[in-house]
Amino acid sequence: MPAQIEVFPCRSDNIGVLIHDPATGATAAIDAPEANPILEVLAARNWSLTDILVTHKHADHVEGILPLKDRYDIRVVGPGAEADAIPGIDVTVHDGDVVKVGQLAAKVIATPGHTAGHIAYWFEREEALFAGDTLFALGCGRIFENTPEEMWQSLQKLAALPDATRLYCGHEYTQSNARFALAVTPDDPALRERAAAIDATRAAGKLTIPSTLGEEKATNPFLRAGEPALAKAVSLENGRAADVFAALRRWKDKF
């Protein structure tokens, strides 16, 4: 039986995600931005929470943990490097570790950049990547604790996963990310088409998550820093991809 994945809004612009294993009944939340929306979806699906998989320590990803622990007997998994800052953490994981949710298995991928200990969870068989605040639909996270070079390496690791992989990120920023992407490459036909589809999805009151890594590799400016058109957009013709990426990220910070 395939895993079931539910995506729903939390807080002002966070994404809540639950992944459910029908074979065992195990259900994991990816991060816990806010307890109430998670509890509502669990109740609506008649699922019981068994695990929380934390991507990083920021308050808008961990504030729901303790209220959910009061309600369920759950295991909280998170990055070893940020264990001190994650309330209620039970199990620490590192790059290359495998985390089981019932019979579902996720590989832990270290993605330093947004925070130094940030990790992503890749469910290979389910073709699902939970990237937290590292890679967004049409964007990437702000770089708080590492160099742009390190963030670029982290993004390259995620971009190396199969194109069919569904990307679940930590925030619904896609429409504003699309505006920035169009400022960088205004005439890109694939980007224009995607931006129009995003506007229609948002106008209908729906989330734009998940996208696929194939879509991101084709249209996300931060994954395309190795392409001549992006280098030209930041006046770094023939520049290194990591430098083009850094220039794009600086531009976006002020956009």
User: Smallest gap, in angstroms, from Cβ of residue 41 to Zn ion?
Assistant: 22
* Best CA proximity match to 157, nearest among 211, 195, 118: 118
Residue 187 annotated in active site: no
**C-alpha span between 22 and 20 (Å, rounded):** 6
Annotated catalytic residue, options 20, 31, 61, 118: 61
R_g over Cα of the chain: 18
Residue 61 annotated in active site: yes
Question: Does residue 133 belong to the site contacting Zn ion (CB under 5 A)?
Answer: yes
Considering the complex, state which of residue 135 and residue 191 has its C-beta at the smaller distance from Zn ion: 135
User: Smallest gap, in angstroms, from Cβ of residue 120 to Zn ion?
Assistant: 13
Contact 244, 236 (CB under 8 A): yes
User: Smallest gap, in angstroms, from Cβ of residue 105 to Zn ion?
Assistant: 25
Dump the DSSP string for 162-201: -TTPEEEESB--HHHHHHHHHHHSTT-HHHHHHHHHHHHH
Residue 133 annotated in active site: yes
Among 20, 57, 58, 69, binds Zn ion (CB under 5 A): 58
Annotated catalytic residue, options 114, 188, 199, 253: 114
Binding segment toward Zn ion, per CB under 5 A, in 21-29, 65-73, 81-89, 126-134: 126-134
* Best CA proximity match to 23, nearest among 50, 41, 43: 50
Contacts with Zn ion, residue ranges (CB under 5 A) = 58, 133
